[in-house]
Structure 1
Amino acid sequence: MGLLSVPILTSPDFGSFQNMAKAPGFQRSVLAYSLLFAFFYLNYHVLIPKFYSKKKRWIYAALLLACFLVVSYTPDLIINSPKPPSNLPFPNNPPHKTAPIDLFGFRDTFIIQFSMIAFLSILLRLDHRLNTIQNEKLKAEVNYLKAQINPHFLFNTLNSVYALTLKKSDEAPWAVLKLSEMMRYVVTESHAEKVSLEREIQYITDYIDLQKLRMGNHTNLVYEIQGNPSGQKIAPIILINYVENAFKYGVNPDELSNIRIFIHIESHSVELIVENKITVKNTSFKEPTTEGNKNTKKRLDYFYPEKYQLHIDQRDNFYMVNLLIDLS
């Protein structure tokens, strides 16, 4: 409203609507400011999110130039009237009248006005994006805290440890130590924004080792790590969800199970491939799994925007996840 009121407030015929509405200069000014108004929303809703935010800066600059030419020349093309001499601020301005001060200057070209509108829309869009990211981060943190330790895994592990103690197995102290290390990692280190990739992989290894306690000869497990994780950093507890799903749906004592977990590390990236045969079709797992996948996707979007590739292939009795993260 403030933008569209500028032509009215700066018109030399302000106070006489009929004279003002008939003046070609006023008509040209209203059209130009209306185009600026439209450009603001076009820039805010389309150009910035599709080009500026995605770092397509040259395309964005070219589109800005095109918009500037449209805003500058369209009024003159539509409203045909001779331009006023350069010493007169408004067309058809009588010599005895003094036009009000033009709030922006360069009225004919709209350079300053256009630049201000473009800059303002970028600032508002970036502020909106920042607020959205902060809200999503808070939601992701809450969901992440809720799901740090999968209760099914904890109960199953405690049951397995209990069975080992009844048998007085030498593996019982080892299992308690593994579970203790996992709990310590979750409680003390996983709140950091980035942790050592080596420690994150050790967490996954401990998880798999504990899962082996409840697996027998009916499960064929392949777990491979290639590359050196030393010196690399990653967001904590961001890979484990897909590993958990493999054991949740891929271990069945009444059916032959196949689980393959492959971690490939390069200088600035880590790739996780998880494949498993679906042997458990328990609907009670479906909702928590869906929520866990959504939370992991949100955390990936937050920590690695446009720096990861996630591919999930699900068929009747087969599930595969391929996640590649650029850690640079």
Structure 2
Amino acid sequence: MFWSKKNGNKSQEFQEILKLRSELSFKGIQFDKALFQLLTPLFEENPLLFKDWKDLQNKVLQAVEEKTWTIQDEIEFIESYVNLWKIAKSDELHTQLTIKGNQQDIQIFPLITFGAIQNALQLGYNSMREHPLKIRIQLSQSTLQLEVSNRVNHYLQNQADNMQFEYWKNRLEYRYPEKHQLFVNSNSNIFKSTLILQIA
């Protein structure tokens, strides 16, 4: 195949677009506007809640988009983030988090799992105890597998059809080119995202 200078420029421009969208995805997860709007009315009555939110923000603002952190950092952030959503939603959010595998010495780009989790929390229907939001992480020496599923929101034609989710896919492409697989499945009951990352 012959490559012209014009094609090369297109490829470079494509990488620059991926880089920009990767950064936008990261920023959108660092500060979750939807969560903040839900929590704000509760801060005055519950100062400790404001402290928990502030502590979470301080931690995530220390993360750098292009520098890895440990899988343990990622999991701890997931737990804190989901707990804040549960408080914000009161009795209207049911979740199930499962972590399997050895968490030692695994490094990943920060918040790389959050596109699916944020999407499920913001757009999924998770108020039924028998249909909780399920987050499952399976770790091995070479792969991380994430499964996130929620009850379908019937007010949406396609839960994955939004800019935030697209930017997350762009970030995966930019940070893990040819080292990730993302599967999105939906039926009349369940929306599910499955991410497989090669981490070694």
Using structure 1 for the length normalisation, give the TM-score.
0.53
Q: 1:182 corresponds to which residue?
A: 56
Aligned partner of 1:250 among 98, 120, 125: 125
Q: Kindly tell me: are residues 279 and 134 of structure 1, through their superposed partners in 2, closer, same or farther at Cα, counting changes over 3 Å?
A: closer
Q: Distance in 2 between matches of 1:233 and 1:126?
A: 32
CA 1:215/1:197 → structure 2, altered by over 3 Å: closer, same or farther? Answer: same
1:266 aligns with 2:147: no
Aligned counterparts of 1:286 and 1:162: Cα–Cα separation in 2: 33
4+ runs deviating over 6 angstroms: 123-127
**CA–CA distance in 2 between the matches of 1:148 and 1:202?**
14
Is 1:209 aligned to residue 91 of structure 2? no
- One-letter identity of the residue aligned with 1:269: T
User: What stretches of structure 1 of length at least 5 have no aligned partner?
Assistant: 1-42, 46-120, 166-171
Q: What's 1:235 paired with? A: 109
Please report how far the alpha carbon of residue 266 of structure 1 lies from its aligned counterpart in structure 2 after TM superposition.
1.1
**Structure-1 residue corresponding to 2:15:** 133
Identity %: 19
Tell me what 1:19 maps to: none
Could you say what the CA RMSD is over the residues aligned between the two structures, in angstroms? 3.0
Matched, 1:315 2:187: yes
Name the counterpart of 2:2. Answer: 44
Residue identity in the other structure for 1:315: N
Q: How does 1:88-99 map to 2 (within 5 A)?
A: none
Higher relative contact order (CA 8 A, sep 6+): 2
User: Larger Rg: 1 or 2?
Assistant: 1
- How far 1:161 moved relative to its partner? 4.0
Q: Distance in 2 between matches of 1:279 and 1:210?
A: 21
More helix by share: 1
Report the CA distance shift for 1:146/1:279 in structure 2 as closer, same or farther (over 3 A): closer
CA contact (8 A) 1:243 1:274 kept: yes
Task: Select 2:164's aligned residue among 272, 292, 304.
Answer: 292
Aligned partner of residue 305 in structure 1, secondary structure: coil
